[in-house]
Every structure is written in C-alpha cells, then in structure tokens.
Structure 1
Amino acid sequence: MQWSWYPVQLSFYVATVATIWTFILAILAAFWMTKKHRKGKAIIETIFFLPLVLPPTVIGFLLIIIFGRNSWVGQAIESITGNSLLFTTTAAVIAAAVVAFPLMYQSIKTGFLSVDSNIIGAAQVDGATEWVILWKIVIPLSFRSILTGVVLGFTRGFGEFGATLMFAGNIPGKTQTIPTAIYLAIETGATNIAWYYVWISISFSFLLLFIINRIRGDT
C-alpha cells in the first residue's frame, strides 16, 4: 500500500457535504420537535438517536437494505441515474450524514429550547410567521449551540468507518477515506502509512474539539 492524499481529500469532502445536508435536516427537525404537543415525539426522537447506539455494521446493513438494488428506493435511483448508490462517494456521504445527525440534532435542539419563549410569543403577536421566527429569532439566538452541533457533526462524519466500509466500500482512489485507509494499511502491514493517517485524524479532531471549547467559553 502506498501513501496517498486521496483518502484525506475524500474524508474532507464527504464530511463537508454530509454536514451541509445534516445541518438542514437537523435545523428543520429540531424546530419541529421543539413545538409542543407533537404526537409520537418520543418514538420519533428514539429513531433519531438510534445511530448513536446501533453498531456501525447494523447501520451499514440497513443502508444497503434501503438503498440497495433490491429495494424500490435503490431501483428508483438506479433508473434515474443509471448507477447504483452502493460503493460510491454518495454512499459515503449518506453513511456520514446518518451517524452525524443525532449529535447535530441534539445540540441544535438544546439551543432552540434555550431561546426565551417570551421573545417568540412577542414575535407571534406581531404577526411573524414560523419561518420568520426560525430564521430571524431562533437561529441567531442559538448560534453557539448550532455551531457546536455543526463541528461535532463534521467530526463524527469525518471519522465514520463501519457503516462507510459496508455501504461505500474501501476502494482506493474512489471511496477510500482516512478510517478505511488506516484499516487497509494495518491489514497489509503498512504501519508507517497508517500512522500518517492517524496523526492527520488526531490533529484535525483535536483542532475541532478545541474550537468547540472556545465556543463554549471554556478555558
């Protein structure tokens, strides 16, 4: 096995795209779930948090079942694009987004719940719509929690391994990310190459966690 920058570049690409999509979904889900009297709220949130406790192989298996060629979703995608999602960069993005969502959702939801309800009530009295309240009031007042969630989600997606290995594979130059490159390096006895990827991963993760602590105002 030879050293390559491709796993590093792909990891950043996958984590970035996954974070963008996860951010949109987490914002909408958190805003909807913080409203009172949502039926089935406990069940929905349990589903949201399942990726935190399920083994990565289970998540990968479920993604294969949902998006594989034998499912109607997979068949529909293949009929439109002409290709299966399995063993593609898109599959790596989906896997990263699934595992990153719970962390980002929880942080954003916590920020939304911290917003003074009196401010929201006053905006409603003045005729503000739900979307105006979200974008003009809730999001600005939850900025720190949202940014923390984004960083945590990015870090989680950046380091995703198990589900990515099953769903996207470990194809050098195509779907190989830093975690899967480390796995292959160890399997082939290329310990020195594994260390390069490990140090890149540790350094970047440390930097992101440091940023989170600064955002929270920790010393």
Structure 2
Amino acid sequence: MLSDAEWQAILISLKVAGSAVGWILVPGVAVAWLMARHDFRGKALLDGLLHLPLVLPPVVVGYLLLLSLGRRGWLGQWLDGTFGITLPFTWQGAAVAGGVMAFPLLVRAVRLSLEAVDVKLEAAASTLGANRWRVFFTITLPLAFPGLITGAVLAFARALSEFGATITFASNIPGETRTLPLALYTLIQTPGQEAAAARLCALSIAIAMASLLASEWLARQARRRLKERDG
C-alpha cells in the first residue's frame, strides 16, 4: 500500500506534467510549423537553441530559470511586480521546468510529422480559396495529428520524470513540488525506506510505460481515422 506522502507525490507529478504539456502545446506546434515550413537566416541557430535542453545538464537549465524567472530575474521581477506571479519553489514553477525540458521532444515530433505532410495538398486547398489558417486547421493539422499526439505524450513522460531542473528551480517541498523523482530521491537518502523507494521506482516505470503505450495506441487510432476519411 502506498502512503499518503507517496500518493501526494503521484498527484503532484501528474498535475505538474499535465500543466507542462498544456503550456508548451500551442507554442510547440507554432515553432514546429515555423521550422518545417520556412527557411530563414538563423534557422540552424534557432534549431540548436531549441535542442539545448536535451544536451545541457538539467541543473544548468534550472539555474538559468532561476536567473531569468526568479524574483530578481529580468522576467521574474516583471511577473512579480505586474501580475504578482512568483514561480520559483511552487508547483507552477515545477511545471515550467518540466515544460522547458520537454519542449524539444514535442517540437521535434510535430516537426517531423509536419514535414511528412504533402505541401501539394496545402497548395491545392489554397487555390480553392482557403486562407492560410483554414488550410492549417483543416489540412495540415489533421494530417500531422498522429505526430502531435506522439509529441504530447513524450513531453508528458519527460516532464513526469524531470529531476534536475525541478529541484534547482522549484526545490523539493513536500506537498508542493515533491514529484515522483524527488520523492524517490528523498526515500533513497532516508535509511530504512528501501521498500518505499522500490515501490515508487516500480510505479514510475509503470506510468512511463503506460504513457508510451498510450502514445502508440492514440497515434494508430489517428492514422486509422485518417485512412478511413481519405478512403
């Protein structure tokens, strides 16, 4: 049986990961579309910046978030003074950290899916009088939907497993920012909690595996519906 603290860590993890995907979804699709459909000066540099969270140590990302979104940071000071929003050491801050780490996975999956869409279909819709937004929402996005599902689920799993950026930016506060990875880390550091740590480890594996299976199933369903529609 899981303890109240362990259930709390699970619920916080799900809330943080879901919120992380929620705030990166629209900008992630927008950036993926920009990278897939346009060539511009500095595109390689932007692509490198987008993938930085994948290669940087997560602690570095967390530290950069503290510098920018902390109360004395250039953006955090504005958020605090204008809207009264404080992100460090809150579950919202953990969601921001998880979203930043998951953003490249979402963008890459959606970008690859968008690049697989035949641009001739978009051009045909445009010649029939559809504007750019209508083409995107009726042609491009439905055809790229399997990739969008895959990217969203992968981003959810990545945010769910985030440790370094979260503990640096949001700390390890019980009942507020202590997600599954942080709870597992705490148990490992506590003598006599090996059984509880093993439970959380197995639970983390189960949730991650369920996310990947759900991603595959949803993507297959989306592809099947597209084939039925086209057929």
User: The TM-score by the shorter chain falls in which range?
Assistant: over 0.9
Three-state SS of the structure 2 residue aligned to 1:212 is helix
The amino acid of 2:29's aligned partner reads I
Does structure 2 conserve the Cα–Cα contact (< 8 Å) formed by 1:31 and 1:134?
no
Alignment match, 1:105:
107
Q: Deviations over 1:156-213 (max 9, x none)?
A: 0111100000000001011110000001111112222212211111111111222334
Q: CA RMSD in A?
A: 1.7
1:205 alignment counterpart = 208
Identity of aligned residues (%): 35
Checking the alignment, whether the CA contact within 8 Å between 1:89 and 1:168 is kept in structure 2 is: yes
1:78-89 alignment to 2 at 5 Å? Answer: 78-82=80-84, 84-89=86-91
Give, in whole Å, the separation in 1 of the partners of 2:97 and 2:120: 39
The TM-score, its normalising length taken from structure 2, stands at 0.88
Q: 2:72 aligned to 62, 70, 73, which one?
A: 70
> Hey, what's the Cα distance between the residues in 2 that align with 1:110 and 1:179?
30
- Summarize the Cα distance change of 1:197–1:114 in structure 2 as closer, same or farther, 3 Å threshold: same
CA contact (8 A) 1:3 1:193 kept: no
Tell me the residue number matched to 1:193: 196
Structure-2 separation of matches of 1:78 and 1:158: 27
Shift of 1:90: 1.1
What stretches of structure 1 of length at least 5 have no aligned partner?
none
TM-score, normalisation: structure 1? 0.93
The equivalent position to 2:31 in structure 1, one of 9, 29, 44, is 29
Q: Which residue, out of 97, 106, 117, partners 1:115?
A: 117
Distance, in Å, in 1 between the alignment partners of 2:190 and 2:25 is 37
Is contact 1:2–1:193 with CA below 8 Å preserved after alignment?
no
The aligned counterpart of 1:140 is 142
* Partner Cα distance (1:140, 1:14) in 2: 27
User: 2:133 maps to what in 1?
Assistant: 131
Name the counterpart of 1:13.
15
Tell me which moved more, 88-97 or 1-10.
Answer: 1-10
Query: How many pairs align?
Result: 217
Rounded Cα–Cα distance in structure 2 between residues aligned with 1:73 and 1:165: 20
**Conserved? CA contact 1:7–1:177, under 8 Å:** yes
